[in-house]
Amino acid sequence: MTRTTEHATTTPAPITTPVPAASDPLLQLEYETQPPSGPETVRLAQCPSELALRGIPVTCSSCRGRRDWLLINHRRHVWIGCRCGAEWLEPEITRRDFDAMIADPTWTRYGSLAEARIALGFDGMFAGLYLE
């Protein structure tokens, strides 16, 4: 008895690798337009005008600046940042207040809070200068 074996020649299936969002413009746009979320998300909002809390205008204790603030929200806390680089926790502003201050919910993503401060000019480089 002769034994025949048939070997089916199969071609290996191509390996599919997931496409990163950066290579697909539509996925990248979808990612960029989603609001930041998660417990470690830090959100920033610029406030170019004067800011009054309970009728008292906010003043920087370092440079005596009275306008052009950076509001920083992390979890339920909000910090105020000045152009001179000073920053302090402001318990009078709640997360709900922060959400109400966001007029234009377009998001720019930064790698870190330090990068965001530099990009927005709140790292002390523009101390004493006010943008109109």
Q: For 7-51, write each residue's pLDDT tens digit.
A: 444 444 444 444 454 577 777 666 555 555 666 678 888 888 898
pLDDT at 39: 62
Angle (CA) 83-88-89 rounded to 5° is: 135
Q: What is the pLDDT of residue 104?
A: 65
- What is the predicted pLDDT for the residue at 10? 45
Most confident region among 10-24, 70-84, 106-120 by mean pLDDT: 70-84
**DSSP letters along 44-101, please?**
EEEE-S--EETTEEP--TTT---S-EEEEEETTEEEEE-TTS-EEE-TTS-HHHHHHH
Q: Using alpha carbons, select from 55, 89, 60, 56 the residue that is nearest to residue 72.
A: 89
Distance CA 93, CA 73 (A): 10
Q: Decide if pLDDT at 93 tops 60.
A: yes
